[in-house]
Chains A and B, each alone.
Chain A
Amino acid sequence: MCSPFWWRSSGGSDYERYASFLNSLCDCGTIRSPVCGHHPKDEGFLFREERISLFQTYRDLFKLLHKGIVYSKSVSWLFKLAPLASLAASLIACAWLPFGGMTGLFSFTGGFLLIAYLFGAARFVTMLASLDTASAFEGMGANREALFAVFAEPALLLGFGAVIVAPGNSSLANAISVAQNTTFSDYGVVAALAAVSFFILALAENSRIPVDDPTTHLELTMIHEAMILDNSGPDLAFIEFASSLKLWFFYVLIADIILPLFHVGLVARICGTFLIVFVLAALTGIVESSMARLRLMKVPQFIGSAAAFAFIAILLKGIL
């Protein structure tokens, strides 16, 4: 490795990269429907008996795009910026995300930092926008989001650190291709710990039980939902699409980390990614079905455990 800095992935044609990006756009909703119903307010798949349409998320988005918008008298331009920033950040993240061995649209040393910080920027604008509505509920949502981010951000970066930096790789795509050629004992434990860490984050960042309750109708207990109580029409569509993409992002990310453990070819890796994403969705459902929500002030400990897993994964690299 002549230089630790690296721009653009070495493998994969342009076509593949675009395909993986488009794939994210088309599939993120279909995974969200079975996990959380067509709306984050429905019960998990384990307790529903009639299947709902796989395309329900897209139907909802279609409807929202056709609806009008009601803006609050209190809001400024920032409120109108927030949905755009959320979706733009998620789009960039999915463009960067490698999929089943296909590299993302772009990749460079430290690209994961940009992605983490773009998510952070989207979160920041969303929190500000929710405070802009002058509503106590939205303030509550922003406040909780801000507090939990204090734990989630380090966990996210340490997770990436465990997978990318500690093993001496320059980017996620690079890390995946390197891991393809390592043995199970070298990579297995680290991958497992990082995957657990990211899974906890996925629950936290996508308002799942035990952090947030997607089925709640109650403003006082909401986190993410509380911040978007005042968004309507296309704005809401952008936000919902952005959160679908974010959920997809975390699932595929975990799949990307786990898959190199199985030394298989491209087609198998793509199928494997879908399989893992499906399993993760089922796992989310099972977690949601078997435990209650944490008391709000216990959530930091839960998210902190994600950081702890990543931390151990990094230290393990030094021991192994």
Chain B
Amino acid sequence: MMRALNARLRQGYRTNPFPAEDPVLSPRYAGLPQLDPGACNACGECEKACPTQAISAHTAPSELKLDLGRCIFCGECEKACDQGAISFSKTFRMGATEREGLVLGKNTEMRIKRLNDEMLRCFGHAMKIRVVSAGGCGACEADVNVLETIGFDLSRFGIGYAASPRHADALLVTGPVSGNMELALKKTWEAMPDPKLVIAVGACAISGGIYRGMPEVRDGADSTLPVNLYIPGCPPHPISILNGLLGLLNRLP
């Protein structure tokens, strides 16, 4: 027992200071892509390099668009572009409450709208999340899981994961929704009491990601459920997920 208490003292304070301060991320971290239509010459190389058809740039420079919902942040487009029209920034704040908000291009505003007042009064300081892994590779689950550890300590915001969907307020979906998981996902949704939310985390859950178009998958959660929040990434950094949740709950400073 004393050992445990000693260890507790030595391990020290480790909770990420977010959202009060921005976290320190790896210098090689690939965050929000920056598009520079001015530099684009519509050569289409980026489109050819993209494994998920997230980017389209073959018509005109001004039509350079990147769908964050499909992007797996592999950086192939950045390498393919000789003009430097695409670069990955260090911005981890990514996510939108509208699917269209994820298509970066002209005049797009990627925005996480807070919940309406009534929902906010309920969920603002108390929200239970039921996570359903619907056919992905397990990486998003791992990064969702990590939020509950003391490194991020989700519960200080009154957010937690629920064992039973009956106790849950939000359904967090990861994975492209495999055909085999579709029914289970629906059943989980039906098992939750109203009012309730759906959060799609990761490229797979938003659009099918790398698996998009494969016959065994359903290309994302909105094929099955009404999604309230999209958090892009493959997998999204835990901080991006936390940012999305807090944005939705209007808890960001």
Residues of A within 8 A of B (CB): 37-39, 41-43, 46-53, 56, 59-60, 62-63, 66-70, 217-219, 222, 225, 229-233, 236, 286, 289-291
Contacts and interface: CB of A to CB of B under 8 A. Distances in A.
Contact of B153 (A49, A67, A225): A49
B6 to A, nearest CB: 11
Given A51-B156, A52-B156, A230 B164 contact: yes
B122 A63 contact: yes
B21 to A, nearest CB: 13
Contacts of A286: 1, 5
A150 B166 CA distance: 30
B193 A233 contact: yes
A85 to B, nearest CB: 19
A217 B165 CA distance: 12
Contact of B122 (A47, A56, A67, A290): A67
A229 B163 CA distance: 8
B8 interface: yes
B163 A59 contact: no
B187 to A, nearest CB: 12
B195 A41 contact: no
Given A50-B153, A62-B122, A67 B193 contact: yes
Interface string B143-166: 000000010010110101111101
Given A69-B193, A70-B192, A56 B163 contact: no
A177 B164 CA distance: 46
B245 to A, nearest CB: 15
18 contacts: A39-B155, A39-B160, A41-B163, A46-B5, A48-B153, A48-B156, A49-B13, A49-B15, A56-B126, A62-B122, A66-B121, A68-B194, A68-B195, A70-B193, A229-B164, A232-B192, A232-B193, A290-B4
Contact of A229 (B128, B153, B156, B166): B166
Nearest to A50: B156
Output the residue of A63, A68, A222, A236 with the most chain B CB within 10 A.
A63
- Considering the complex of A and B, which 6 residue pairs feature the smallest CB-CB distances, nearest first? A290-B1, A50-B156, A232-B166, A68-B194, A229-B164, A68-B193
Given A41-B162, A60-B158, A229-B164, 5 more contacts: A47-B150, A48-B156, A62-B126, A67-B122, A67-B194
Contacts of B1: 286, 289-291
A222 B162 CA distance: 13
A143 B150 CA distance: 34
A221 to B, nearest CB: 11
B178 to A, nearest CB: 22
Contacts of B13: 49
B169 A67 contact: yes
Contacts of A289: 1, 4-5, 8
A66 B14 CA distance: 35
Contacts of B128: 39
Contacts of A62: 122, 126
B132 to A, nearest CB: 13
Interface of B: 1, 4-5, 8, 13-15, 121-123, 125-128, 150, 153, 155-156, 158, 160-164, 166-167, 169, 191-195
Nearest to B191: A70
A217 B161 contact: yes
Given A38-B160, A46-B8, A230 B194 contact: no
A186 B61 CA distance: 91
A50 B16 CA distance: 10
Nearest to A55: B125
A49 B4 CA distance: 16
A50 B166 contact: no
B155 A48 contact: yes
A53 B126 CA distance: 11
Nearest to B153: A50
B163 A230 contact: no
B250 to A, nearest CB: 15
A265 B166 CA distance: 48
Given A49-B14, A62-B122, A290-B1, A67 B158 contact: no
Nearest to A219: B163
A38 B158 CA distance: 7
Contacts of A67: 122, 169, 193-195
Contacts of B167: 229, 231-232, 236
Contacts of A230: 164, 166
Contacts of A53: 125, 158
B156 A41 contact: no
B166 A37 contact: no
Contacts of A217: 161, 163
Contacts of B121: 66
B193 A56 contact: no
A38 B166 contact: no
Nearest to B161: A217
B14 A41 contact: no
Contacts of A69: 193
Contacts of B169: 63, 67
Contacts of B195: 67-68
A218 B164 CA distance: 10
